[in-house]
Amino acid sequence: MFFSPFLAIGLAPLLASAAPSWSVGPTTDYATKASNKVCSILDYGGKADGKTDIGSAISSAWDECKEGGVVYIPSGEYALESWVRLTGGKSTAMRMDGTIYRTGSDGGNMIFIEHTSDFELFSSNSKGAIQGYGYEFHKDGSLSGPRLLRLYDVSDFSVHDLILVDAPAFHFSLDTCSNGEVYNMAIRGGDSGGLDGIDVWSNDIWIHDVEVTNKDECVTVKSPSKSILVENIYCNWSGGCAMGSLSTDVDISDITYRNIYTWKSNQMYMIKSNGGSGSVSDVVLENFIGHGNAYSLDIDQAWSSMSTVDGDGVQLNNISISNWKGTAENGAQRGPIKVNCAPGAPCTDVTIEDFAMWTEEGDSETYICNSAYGSGACLKEESGDTTSYSTTVTVTTAPTGYSAATMAGDLSTAFGTDSEIPIPTIPTSFYPGATPFSALAAKASSA
């Protein structure tokens, strides 16, 4: 069956969501690939016994089916001790219906796909998972283990209906890819920094309908990137979404985050740098709901957690922030609006509107703007003079319309770093009032 990336499009009418204007996803449907050839790893020495290393079986199946076929990992439990590097695929797919458990201890990437085009990685039963058992590293304070999944130089692709759990390091990286779609995923990691959910530095990418639990990046854009649409994202006790860390020769443009729900996280959205050079332009951050987050909107070009790099600062221009609602953990301690721009590279053409957030503790909150020009909140109007300035506004009355919905799946506590994290199911809702763009593959295949 062909699993279309555009099944069941239909968002609530008040939510401004739509597919990207550029093309994404495989150019050949799954049915055509499967009719050509299917290479089950069970035919190449793989065993669903939870202990036999399937690394060589995956590699052998890939070599046979990487040009016009399907690598198939059937339902069952599998061990992966030796990492796999899959390269040179053309018009291929990898159907992962079973659960892969990490049994090796090397660094690097458990599954690394590179130099591949017209590619689909998915689970037809929406239960395919990689269990990284990262706690075995983290309980001793180590982050030296592998990423779970990395794509490099992959074009015209989709990754969907997969579950990534407890990565020793990052969960999923998209590096120098193009025309890709990522959707219907659940990512669950430990309560520690260095365990990013999805990191993307690529062009023409659509990421949507994803839940992330961890204590670092939820879905983050890095440099260089262009034309990235991120929407219907559920940061459920996470680090929160971000851009950065930005360093030298930054080149990021045309980035939209829309329909982002953030619960008990470090921030709702952060753009982070300290010194540096280059530019970020044409960014839209709209329809954000947050509850109990340390920071809300946090643009910080003097981010203390990053070592200062050479340069006057990254130039931020044409940043639009609109329709933010909810509550901050403590609005006086960490105000819901912080736009701290570099004096040597002031932010320009910044717009903040329809921003209604209130504090959960106390009866006041602060807005902080430094060297930021535009309209709304504490921003200084542009008049041709971009001399550095600093403004703090204290708000003592709750804004109208700050009340916002919560999600039924909001976690009551984080997952630790010293015991096994259970494999979740993929949710069917990622933002209040928004219907996912695509039905889960398991539902689509049974329809």
Predicted confidence at residue 17, as pLDDT, reads 55
- Which residue did the predictor score with more confidence, 304 or 13? 304
Q: Are residues 135 and 417 in contact, defined by beta-carbon separation less than 8 angstroms?
A: yes
C-alpha closest to that of 8 among 131, 184, 140: 184
Predicted confidence at residue 386, as pLDDT, reads 84
Q: What burial class does residue 20 get, using C-beta atoms within 10 Å of its C-beta: 0-12 exposed, 13-18 middle, 19+ buried?
A: middle
CA atoms of 308 and 302, how far apart (whole Å): 8
Please report, for the chain, the start and end positions of each structural domain, with discontinuous segments joined by +.
1-218, 238-410
Q: Which CATH architecture has domain 238-410?
A: 3 Solenoid (2.160)
Q: Are residues 233 and 431 in contact, defined by beta-carbon separation less than 8 angstroms?
A: yes
The per-residue pLDDT of the chain, averaged, comes to 94
pLDDT at 5 over 70: no
pLDDT per residue as tens digits for the range 364-389:
999 999 999 999 999 999 888 888 99
User: Hey, is 87 helix, strand or coil?
Assistant: strand
Predicted confidence at residue 4, as pLDDT, reads 35
Predicted confidence at residue 12, as pLDDT, reads 34
Phi, psi of 225 (to 5 degrees): -150, 150
pLDDT at 3 over 50: no
pLDDT at 291 over 50: yes
- The whole-model pTM stands at 0.95
User: Hey, is 59 helix, strand or coil?
Assistant: helix
Q: Are residues 362 and 334 in contact, defined by beta-carbon separation less than 8 angstroms?
A: no
Band of the pLDDT at 14, cuts 50, 70, 90?
very low
Q: What is the mean pLDDT of the segment spanning 119-134?
A: 98
CA atoms of 393 and 118, how far apart (whole Å): 51
**Could you tell me the sign of the dihedral formed by the alpha carbons of 106, 107, 109, 114, in that order?**
negative
Q: Are residues 179 and 204 in contact, defined by beta-carbon separation less than 8 angstroms?
A: yes
In the annotation, is 291 catalytic?
Answer: yes
User: Hey, is 430 helix, strand or coil?
Assistant: coil
Catalytic residue among 156, 166, 209, 216: 216
pLDDT per residue as tens digits for the range 199-220:
999 999 999 999 999 999 999 9
Predicted confidence at residue 444, as pLDDT, reads 74
DSSP for residue 72: E
Count how many residues are written for the chain.
447
pLDDT at 196 over 90: yes
Q: Are residues 209 and 436 in contact, defined by beta-carbon separation less than 8 angstroms?
A: yes
Q: Are residues 203 and 182 in contact, defined by beta-carbon separation less than 8 angstroms?
A: no
pLDDT at 11 over 80: no
pLDDT at 1 over 60: no
Phi, psi of 82 (to 5 degrees): -115, 125
pLDDT at 13 over 60: no
In the annotation, is 216 catalytic?
Answer: yes
Q: What is the mean pLDDT of the segment spanning 86-115?
A: 98
pLDDT per residue as tens digits for the range 129-178:
999 999 999 998 888 899 999 999 999 999 999 999 999 999 999 999 99
Catalytic residue among 199, 208, 291, 300: 291
Band of the pLDDT at 446, cuts 50, 70, 90?
low
CATH topology match: 1-218 vs 238-410: yes
Q: Residues near 383 by Cβ (< 8 Å), separated by ≥ 6?
A: none
* Tokens 């997952």 sit on residue: 415
Q: What is the mean pLDDT of the segment spanning 330-350?
A: 97
Q: How many CA atoms lie within 13 A of 131 on its CB side?
A: 19
Domain 1-218, CATH class in plain words? mainly beta
pLDDT at 297 over 60: yes
CA atoms of 357 and 354, how far apart (whole Å): 10
Phi, psi of 60 (to 5 degrees): -65, -40
